[in-house]
Structure 1
Amino acid sequence: MAGLSLRCGDCGAHLKSVEEAQEHAELTSHTNFSESTEAVLNLVCTACGKPCRSKIETDLHTKRTGHADFVDKTSEAAKPIELEAPKAPMESEESAVAPAESNQSEEMVVPEVDKNLLAELESMGFPTARATRALHFSGNSSLEAAINWVADHEDDPDIDQMPMVPVNTQAETGKLSLTPEEVKMKAQELRERARKKKEEEEKKMEREREKERIRIGKELLEAKRIEEENERKRLLALRKAEKEEEKRAREKIRQKLEEDKAERRRKLGLPPEDPEAAKPSSTVVEEKKSFLPVRPASKAERMRDCLRSLKQHQKDEDAKVKRAFQTLLTYVGNIAKNPDEEKFRKIRVNNPTFQDRVGSLHGGIDFLEICGFQKLDNNEFLFLPRDKVDMAVLNSAGSELNSAIANPFFGVL
């Protein structure tokens, strides 16, 4: 199959003619070219008709004009490449077409342009043919005029073809009007404008990146908030399930007690208990209360009530309750082991550790007072006198504390 393009082996670019390959070699110093069956892309903008030869060109065109629709006409424009030496075109952009009846064709040459301006344009990245055409048709006046001409004619199909003019026209071309100093000033001005434009684009890109960082930060915060909300809902559901489980456990225990009671009545030969009859009326209760003597609560029961109150007031902080119970057990155990040591029988109430573990909790100080501690010096100290140390009371306190620590249902049922 005939070659449809020339491929640069150094950078991979596809070129559609020998002229383009020569210009590419002059600009890049690449010399490794080979014939390729892959045609040069021809993506035509449906809005303005501009041809683009790569995805990069289409992206730049879209960014500059907003046109985003392109038609692939690569197959229509593809044709076998001519590997013969390129021939100079026979007409320029503004030269008139020779009459059909002319017997001789006028000799055409490349127009002379300012070499310094041409070098400046080439250093800025313009191909030699495009820079020569721009200088020629802008009148060799300035770099700015040449660049403006390129901007106005970048869609011309022959923008990268070397301009040709008749010999007579070339001979009549006037001399340049700018001095070398003016050319340098113009070039410096253009470079400065290009630098400022690049800085503005970089600032714009930085603003876009900052906006993107802010957007990502907001999304991360929102995701974290949703995750925390889901975790809170999960904990609430778990706590509700635990309460339901405790409720079922209490009901099961109650049913078991009722069954045991009914079994005992059956073994004793008593009739089953009537639930309605088993409930004494309020009047009967009041009468019983009024006639029966009330047994005062023992110290062990009062201790148990203090511990139960402490647990219920801190029902959502099991670790804190357990630490309070263990601290009280330590106080009681130290006194029981060393009753003569005053340091174990005297507690500073405003001590931060004591306040955090026992003093600030409901029922903590009351428990110690039941054990025999007394408040001294305007409630600044809790003190257990040596003669008030009761080993039976301390042993009861230790038993109640151990039971509260070991029983998972303590204070719940």
Structure 2
Amino acid sequence: MGNGKDSDVSLVGVEETIPQDDAGTKEGADSSSAPMKSESPQCTGQDAANINGGSTGTRPARWSTVKHSMRTCIRATGASLVCTFVSVLSDPACPALSDLVDANLLAHLKEMGFSEARAGRALLATRGCPTTLETALSWIEEHEGDSDIDDPLTPEELATHKPAKKTPLSEEEAQRMAYELQKKLREERLKREKQGAIEKERLRLQQSRAILEQQSKLEEEARKRALCQLQREKEEAKKERERQRELLRQDYRDRFGCEMPDDPSQADVEERVSKMSGKDKVAFFSNALFKRYRKDEPQKLLVCLTTLRLYVMNAKEHPTDVKYHRIRKENAAFKSRVMVCEGSLELLEACGFKDRGETLAIEGQPDGFILAQAVKFLDLLIGQLRG
């Protein structure tokens, strides 16, 4: 600081800037050649206050006051206090970059990939106008070619800017900010609750679907087991009937020494049926079919009678449409619903459907009276099964 201007002070500068008068020169010479006396006057509190500029950590307000205080204290205590004055006159800590610019904008620019130095320079350069992200980006674009744009910010650069003044909020502003914060927190909470409810409902539906699928699987397995059990029971019943017949034949052979003849009444029955009218034949075969399956297989009988009624009713209501006068034997529904019951073909034949190889057909005009009687008998038997 050899030129005497207000700036940072080094040890040499301090020594050079202290004016030497006659008394001062003499005292300085005496002090350099002789030890200091204990009764030497000390630096007063007012001098220290002048050196510190009135408060610790701030730059002295006027350089002339500092020089006067230095002269006074050095004359009193000697040159050993020069280092103390140098540290007192050093620059105070520079303000941080976050105290000079908007921390949110700085963080946003850093997230965009700009260095802290580049982002800080852009925000500092645009402090005079309303600083926004757009103005900072415009400044960066204009100064993209600067060689020192990414150099770290020096304390001298930061010291040229004053920290932004933070004006206290008014009561209305504080209330508005508190309300906005509460509103934001409430919206976030409602959003979390809504998302949680959606997730909970999704899990509930997923669990319900899994339970239904498991129940359906169990029901299907139970149905298959029931069908297998029913089939086994039917086979066992058939085997038991055959065993009983064989026992009867064996008993007959043991008693009479010959094979048991066939049912002697079968020929009589056929002869008697051949002499019946069409109405009586329909009644006879309907009752025979009903008695044969009513006890052991009522559901099977119900399906057969219902299907037979449909065939007979179609032929009765469409006497001129030949497509209702023919039934293919290989028809899947006919085979699975009608032909499984013994005696059903005889009933159809009594209604006028004659066996023509691959089909059962009514030749010529169907007998409406016989068909009507057949429908009446079938309705009566179906009603008994459902009752």
TM-score, normalization by structure 2:
0.33
Question: Which is helix-richer, 1 or 2?
Answer: 2
TM-score, normalization by structure 1:
0.31
| Bigger Rg, structure 1 or 2 | 2
Question: Which is strand-richer, 1 or 2?
Answer: 1
